[in-house]
Amino acid sequence: MDPSMNHAIHLPRDSKPRSRILISSKNPFPTYTYHSPLQHTEGTPSTSRTSIKSSTSSTSTTPSQHSIYTNLSTDRHHKLHHPANFYHFHGSKTDTENHLTCNPTFSFQSLPDVLNNNDQQLSNDLMMVVNINNVKNKAKDLSKNSPARLISFILVVSVFILALIAVSLMVALIIVASGQEAQDVYKKKLFGGEGERVEEGLRNEFDGMRIRESIRWLSQNVHVAGTVENMDVMERIEKEMMALGLEVTTQEYDVLLDYPDYNNPNTITYCEDKSAKCHVLSSGLSEVMGSGELAGQEDDPRALVQWVAYAKNGTITSNVVYVNYGTLEDYQYLSNKSVSVKDAIVIIRYGAVFRGDKVELAAEHGAKGVIIYTDPADYAPNLGKDKKTFPDNIFLPKRGAQRGSLAKVDGDPLTPFYPSLNYTLRTETEEGLRERNILPNIPVATIGYEDALSIIKLMDGTQVASDDWIGGLNTTYRFTGTQKITLTVNSRAQVRKIKNVMAKFQGATDPDKWVLLGNHVDAWVKGAIDPNSGTATLLEAARVLTTTSTKLSWRPKRSIVFCFWDAEEYGLIGSTEFVEQYLKPLQRKAIAYLNVDNINGNNTLSIKAVPMIYRLVVESAKKIPHPNPEDVEKGLDTLYDGWQFYNPRGPIAGDKSIPEVRNPGSGSDFQRFISYLGIPVLDLKMTCAPYANYMLYHTMYEVPWTTEHLIDTTHQVFSAVGQMWMELTRNLADSLIIPFNVEDYAIKLDDFVKQTDVTLKVYEVDVGMGRPYYKEKMEMLKDSIKRFGNVAVLIQNVVEGVNNGHVGVTIPQINTINSILQHIEKNFILEQGIYPKRAFYRHTVFTSSEHDEYAGKVFSLIMDPVFEWDAAKKANNPQKQKEWLNLIDLGFTKLQYTIESAILGMDLSDFNSVLFGLKVLMQKYDFEGDSNFYGIPVPGKYVCWAELAIIQMITPNVSFLGHLSGILAGLVYWEVPFVKKIVGLVEGVVANVFGDILNSFNQRETRDNPTDGQRRRNQQYNGQNQFNQGRRPYGWNFN
């Protein structure tokens, strides 16, 4: 850690900091925690920038040799010294006598030395001895000997308590009277314009022309993973990062990849029976479109070749069967029509599910070969109107073919669970993988819709009647044909070397906590859109960060890591191998992973994210100007406006403040971080509205000309995405408390379970399990989620209260709450995987479906077995039905286990003083909000009053002093405004009475409309708390 990046707060030397001394009958030692006398209590930005840097050490407050509590005696009867020099205090020459100044050379690592070298000052500080157990024992002895002596003893203790309170109030008056000016300076430093200054500096530094130039050199050549061209790109990125002064590391892996025979492309032919005349239905080649600069960028023989990775080499001749999108439902539809695909070549259109799932299902149903094509209904929707396609617009031309991987495994297929390094045993073989359909065991080709038209015209079977099965070709769609075609595939699998590049910008106070930004570099052809629009933006983001840091003398609290992945297109190989190699450090260090795979449009954001990041994305999008002039003319001034206009349907029912956010399934490098590690993720894109498809996806037409003339014509689109990417990063890396929203997670879990319940009943799982037993399992699951929600609301109040300055915390408490937030997703990880067949996937909530890798399905550990059970039921296979039903039942157990683990993981036992709980309650109702108590609107403060009284009465093993102090402090706090300023001092004489405060905070969601008081409170919060917008009102439930 760089000591120069740590700051301390300074006061005049004659000032004494305020302390709180927490005495507990539960704890063997009294504990000391520092409470700033300059506590901020007014509205502030949600992301707090403070000169008090949080420590990354253990949050324990137990005295130890290496802690900042070195001078505290471990004897419970020893006098507790309050270290006046916990921070350095001295006057400032440039400001008035009482102003705060920062010492840039101060480090929290030096605190033990500071304490040990100030014994003289310590001797003048406050001492206090309170031993509640001894007091109780003494009172018991006195009661035996004499009632008069007992009364005398009580009087003496009462006088002592009153005197102590009086002294405390006097000290508080002195502190408040003398420290007002210092408080103002503290507020300025903690909650002033620092965040806005950095935010603006980062945003203004982005240069769209630099991004354009980066795309040009990144996309100069075809750079498929494992080739010399791609390794050259990786090495240049490495040099670019080193030139910025970042800490650069690389990882190289030897992995199984696959390549076409560029000199001998795949073909599809048809020979007439009678004349033996043969026709080429597909030459396996696309065509150059346009002229001039565009044609020159397309003109590479390798770019023309149409292929899909890992297809089996070989030739097959058979009749053709049309299976629509090739989903499980499509095969069931064919079965109902008595259409079989056994021994046939199936023709499938792209869309609906992952291409690898299409091939796997075809093989499982007996097909001998697969042809996948891009139907104009999905990739050229205006073809029937104006006949225009690329390069006139973004629609796919007739010979355009989509490339991609067919592997049903992420990472190197030969080394599951382990990084592909020189010490790693290759436990798999290509042959074994093909036998199990993890890699295709049949030939597969990809073609454009002109070639597909030639094949479908040959078919003479039953006509397709369903509109869902009819595409955009100008012909009659039929299920089958009697004519036979020949499919020839020429490809080969090889072990090649790949390389990741990582560049770290060191954090100031928490360098071992990482916010990761990632994009892959490899492409199927030249890849100017996918991935290099994202790659160039990531390169610019790294330059912007380093430049702004130098200009503004600013550095975020946590480290920022720029990740450039290799071999993503083959199956997330580079990122998966990295996750496997760095599994342990990532579990400990990673805060979040933010991914930009590509930027393929200029109208609206396309977001995949975990619920805890929803509101962070919303607030970031509101700060970025919309880059499309046509949308700005419509009144869509920010990225948020465009997102809300084109995709208004949000993930939380009844909350219109959040536009569409999809669940993180798969499809890019974020997948392994969430599904295998349990690290919160975001996938960010801009797309062309209103079209859901990215038409030129994985084609030869992704060249620099396309990005400059069709996507980012103003050179502002890619910059806008970069600005938002960096704003998200700044918030996560520099907020005092990590700005996750756990409350939204609880709401979504509740929604997920309700949706799953409906689906399971449609599939009659309740009947299969037995309705009483199913109801019991579902009720237990819902109860867990309700309790998760109760704790989540309290956690969220703490997060928002601290980031807004309404709740004061110590440095150990900051570390505790950040640790809780960092590990929430990890509680949903099952070490053994969600079920045996899918051991690669470990997150019980966010794991993609076995039957659709791309879809953002949830609870796959239950839903995947449901689909298999249903198929076994239809096949009348009792044994398989029983096996899959047992897995469904076990899925309920595993899901509830992880939710219960999350509840335990959100334990706030370190936030266990009565007044801390009181302040959390106050922070929620301080603006006179009303609570809906069994349909009756009750002023919020009285509800909190009742709650606090119940806490005091039902908590066991609490001293009378603890009860009395907590209740009286709450009464005085609300009814005497002046006392709010000295709450921190009163805490010093309040007992640390219980560690189970969470159990009494049994919040109940109220879906009623907010009361006027709540509206007033929310209106005031909107200017102070960016996360409160759109939150549902919650009341307190006492039963």
Q: Which domains does the chain have, with CATH numbers?
A: 3-38+50-191 (no CATH), 201-258+494-618+666-725 (3.40.630.10), 265-489 (3.50.30.30), 753-831+888-1036 (no CATH)
DSSP class per residue in 116-133? HT-HHHHTTS------HH
Catalytic residue, candidates 194, 199, 298, 568: 568
The pairing of strands 480-489 and 267-271 is antiparallel
Q: Identify the residue with better confidence: 965 or 556.
A: 556
| Band of residue 168 on the pLDDT scale cut at 50, 70, 90 | low
Contact 456, 478 (CB under 8 A): yes
**pLDDT digits over 505-527, tens only?**
999 999 999 999 999 999 999 99
Beta-carbon contacts of 765 under 8 Å, excluding residues fewer than 6 positions away, are 774, 866, 869, 885, 888
Buried b / exposed e over 222-253, threshold 16 CB at 10 Å, is bbbbbbeebbebbeebbebbeebebebebbbb
Q: At what angle do helices 860-874 and 878-905 cross, to 10 degrees?
A: 170
**Mean pLDDT for the stretch of residues 380-409:** 93
Q: Which pLDDT score, from 0 to 100, does residue 130 have?
A: 35
Q: Which pLDDT score, from 0 to 100, does residue 253 have?
A: 99
Q: 843: which strand partners?
A: 829
| Band of residue 851 on the pLDDT scale cut at 50, 70, 90 | confident
Has residue 295 got a pLDDT over 70?
yes
Q: Which pLDDT score, from 0 to 100, does residue 488 have?
A: 98
Mean pLDDT taken over the chain: 79
Q: What share of the chain is helix, strand, coil (3-state, %, to 5)?
A: 45, 15, 40
**pLDDT digits over 211-250, tens only?**
999 999 999 999 999 999 999 999 999 999 999 999 999 9
Q: Which pLDDT score, from 0 to 100, does residue 276 have?
A: 76
Has residue 732 got a pLDDT over 60?
yes
Contact 384, 399 (CB under 8 A): no
Strands (E), 940-1027: 1003-1005
Q: Which pLDDT score, from 0 to 100, does residue 170 have?
A: 53
Q: Which pLDDT score, from 0 to 100, does residue 1015 have?
A: 37
Contact 253, 414 (CB under 8 A): no
Rounded Cα–Cα distance for residues 638 and 628 (Å): 10
| Burial class, 278, CB count within 10 angstroms (exposed 0-12 / middle 13-18 / buried 19+) | exposed
**Mean pLDDT for the stretch of residues 616-626:** 98
Could you check whether the bond before residue 531 is cis, i.e. omega within 30 degrees of 0?
Answer: yes
| Band of residue 810 on the pLDDT scale cut at 50, 70, 90 | confident
| Burial class, 779, CB count within 10 angstroms (exposed 0-12 / middle 13-18 / buried 19+) | exposed
Has residue 855 got a pLDDT over 80?
no
- Out of 5-9, 107-111, 509-513, 993-997, give the one with best mean pLDDT: 509-513
Percent of the chain with pLDDT over 70: 69
708 catalytic? Reply is no
**pLDDT digits over 425-460, tens only?**
999 999 999 999 999 999 999 999 999 999 999 999
Least confident of 461-465, 803-807, 924-928, 1034-1038: 1034-1038
Q: Which pLDDT score, from 0 to 100, does residue 798 have?
A: 82
Q: Which pLDDT score, from 0 to 100, does residue 964 have?
A: 55
**pLDDT digits over 188-207, tens only?**
334 445 778 999 999 999 99
Task: Select from 766, 803, 598, 747 the least CA-distant residue to 683.
Answer: 598
| Band of residue 16 on the pLDDT scale cut at 50, 70, 90 | very low
Q: CA dist 84 to 10, 114, 508, 989, Å?
A: 12, 10, 26, 18
Rounded Cα–Cα distance for residues 150 and 156 (Å): 10
Task: Select from 926, 911, 953 the least CA-distant residue to 1025.
Answer: 926
Contact 125, 81 (CB under 8 A): yes
**pLDDT digits over 84-105, tens only?**
333 333 333 334 333 333 333 3
Has residue 531 got a pLDDT over 90?
yes
Contact 846, 663 (CB under 8 A): yes
| Band of residue 134 on the pLDDT scale cut at 50, 70, 90 | very low
Least confident of 850-859, 905-914, 974-983: 974-983
| Band of residue 162 on the pLDDT scale cut at 50, 70, 90 | low
**pLDDT digits over 869-881, tens only?**
998 998 899 999 9
**pLDDT digits over 577-591, tens only?**
999 999 999 999 999
DSSP class per residue in 532-566? HHHHHHHHHHHHHHHHHHHHHT---SEEEEEEEES
Rounded Cα–Cα distance for residues 130 and 161 (Å): 11
Q: CA dist 869 to 437, 694, 866, 880, Å?
A: 20, 35, 5, 7
**pLDDT digits over 735-769, tens only?**
999 999 999 999 999 999 999 999 999 999 999 99
Q: Which pLDDT score, from 0 to 100, does residue 149 have?
A: 64
Opening angle at CA 853, ends 852 and 857, nearest 5: 70
Least confident of 20-29, 545-554, 902-911: 20-29
**Mean pLDDT for the stretch of residues 718-731:** 98
Has residue 171 got a pLDDT over 70?
no
Has residue 109 got a pLDDT over 70?
no
